Amino acid sequence: MEYRQLGESNLKVSAITFGAWAIGGWMWGGAERKDALEAIRVSIDHGVTSIDTAPIYGQGLSEEIVGEAIKGQKRDQLQILTKFGMRWDLDKGTLAFKSKDNSGKDIDIYKYAGKESVIQECEDSLKRLGTDYIDLLQIHWADVTTPIEETYEAVLRLKEQGKIREAGVCNYNVEQTKAANSVVKLASNQVPFSMVERGIEKELVPYCIENKIGILAYSPLQRGILTGKIKPGHSFNEGDTREGNRFYQPENITRINAFLDELRPMAESKSATVAQLVIRWTIERPGITVALVGARDANQAIQNAKAINVKLSAEEIDYINERLYKLQLV
């Protein structure tokens, strides 16, 4: 595994980090707890020392599973990343969207990051994770009802108290990142980035490079479509929100698979899967520190971790990029 410093912080994380959204079940159509626990433990065995979760993933379930998985592990050799600012148990801030929990009950999700809420969420996360500190605490989505300065003053207090090691943001644009960074030096910004979703490269990546802020790229496999395993007519489990996603429209599935077919010979020449090639490409992009990759079972986790062994030459990266830039999605 490769380990990279997050910005100018003291935090070193594995270049491939375990993304724990799917194991919470919520919005992914269910998950098996036993498989999820095994996936995390096997990831750690293969050098993945960093795990990214959030309270909203399964309304606490993902954090609880992570907490159970890391029991008995050497805590100082792991980096636990979690978030705050999405409440399903309180109607403050702005309504983000309506959803259902894992039992099918209707819930309203609010974006809220008032000072008292940040502190309370941190305490709740510490309990669910079974730890006395969080390595990286991040706001999940911007809360327009609370000044960023107020939110990050609360985060700064938590850092001073030793309850968190470093502060980050998620889904923040350049202006929002600047505001938070003026209160507490940010280690990172976690944003969506993949071969087919590269919008951050225009403004955010240059800003983060210039200001020495790490970037955690989530959904680098675009929620599975860049594995090449999802074909037109794919059947999704109930509750899986990928079905209505733009990238999963039949024509886009066809176009993306045709593009991946062009990469397949390169992957095979390296005894790698297409997904492993995609993950390696992602962490080679300028400004990208980490690829967050989810796994629902041990086999997926092992395959993700082994992507670190793929090596790409400058010429091979150019070959991929040339074909990628010709890919047009509807």
Residue 91: pLDDT band (50, 70, 90) is: very high
**Residue 73 is encoded by which pair of tokens?**
């592990």
Question: How far apart, in Å, are the Cα atoms of 287 and each of 23, 58, 202, 315, 328?
Answer: 28, 30, 12, 19, 24
CA distance 90 to 190: 25
- For 43-63, what is each residue's pLDDT tens digit? 999 999 999 999 999 999 999
For residue range 240-271, what is the model confidence (pLDDT) as tens digits? 767 778 888 889 999 999 999 999 999 999 99
- Kindly state the average pLDDT of the residues 15-29: 85
| pLDDT over threshold 90, residue 202 | yes
Residues with Cβ within 8 Å of residue 65, at least 6 apart in sequence? 20, 23, 24, 33, 36, 37, 40
* Statement: residue 31 has pLDDT above 70: no
Given a cut of 70, is residue 330 above it in pLDDT? yes
What is the value of pTM for the model shown?
0.94
Q: Which residues are catalytic?
A: 57
In the chain, what are the domains? 3-224+278-310 (3.20.20.100)
Phi then psi for residue 143, to 5 deg, are -110, 110
Tokens for 120, please give them. 């309370």
Q: Are 267 and 256 in contact (CB under 8 A)?
A: no
Report how far residue 78's alpha carbon sits from residue 13's, in angstroms, rounded to the nearest whole number.
8
Per-residue confidence band for 29, with pLDDT thresholds at 50, 70 and 90: low
147 within 8 A of 118, measured Cβ to Cβ = no
Q: How confident is the model at residue 30 (pLDDT cuts 50, 70, 90)?
A: low
Query: How many CA atoms within 13 Å lie on the side-chain side of 206?
Result: 4
The per-residue pLDDT for 241 is 67
Ordered alpha helix ranges (H), 52-185: 61-69, 115-129, 148-160, 174-181
Q: What is the pLDDT of residues 123-181, one digit of tens each?
A: 999 999 999 999 999 999 999 999 999 999 999 999 999 999 999 999 999 999 999 99
